[in-house]
Amino acid sequence: MTKPAAESRKPAAVIVAAGNSTRMGSAKALLEWDGAPLLAHAARALEKIAAPLVVVVPPGKNPVRALAESLGAAVADGVPAGEMFDSLRAGLAAVPGGVPVMVATCDQPLAGAPWLSTLAGLALAHGDGPWLPLCNGRRGHPVVLDAATAGRVRRADLAPDGLRGFLRGAEKLYELETGDPACLIDLDTPEEWKKFLAGARG
């Protein structure tokens, strides 16, 4: 696969959407909210501030790949039966080296989050460590990996603690307090999805 080129003064972005969604019971990327699939919301939010945008999808022809391609994103084959970290590495391999990389999951709509551009700008200005958004002191997503950390993750063979292990081992780790609960959204089960929908309607 030919890597898409980076754009000046923008981080790259990787959305991981290759999981089996076994606890949810259906592909999280395709769940409809506010008139569009969750993956579409995440992609549209990130494409405003990051380039290139790579979506990690299940291998072969499938609805998630078709949706990602229809959104104009580059796609990379993930590892549905493996750990999320394996699919993240596949996504990082598809973006240019030497730039920060914003890492998101498909179950975070991120629609209208004004702090995303702030987070991206800070990661570009202070590129010697990863950046994480906070909500009232709690760490959320997406994380922005500095270029050096992204390279280490890309080259890693084993990571028992996944991305969290790399973040714990970072010499510098920066945080941005957003006050926005959207950065804490984590939709893994039908119950969490129902709670999210109820809160969104309220």
Residue range 37-67, pLDDT digits in tens: 999 999 999 999 999 999 999 999 999 999 9
Convert 8-21 to b/e letters by CB count within 10 Å (16 or more is b).
eebbbbbbbbbbeb
Convert 71-107 to b/e letters by CB count within 10 Å (16 or more is b).
bebbbbbbbbeeebbbbbbbbbbbbeeebbbbbbbbb
Domains of the chain: 12-201 (3.90.550.10)
Look at 119 and 26; give whichever has higher pLDDT: 119
Compute the Cα dihedral for 127, 146, 136, 180 and give only its sign.
positive
- What confidence score (pLDDT) does residue 165 get? 78
Look at 13 and 158; give whichever has higher pLDDT: 13
Q: Rounded CA gap, 145 and 119, in Å?
A: 11
pLDDT tens per residue across span 129-148: 999 999 999 999 999 999 99
Q: How confident is the model at residue 159 (pLDDT cuts 50, 70, 90)?
A: low
Which residues lie across from 101 on neighbouring strands?
Answer: 12, 145
- What confidence score (pLDDT) does residue 41 get? 93
∠ CA 77-167-45, nearest 5°, is 55
β 32-33/36-37 pair status:
antiparallel
- What confidence score (pLDDT) does residue 202 get? 45
- pTM (two decimals): 0.90
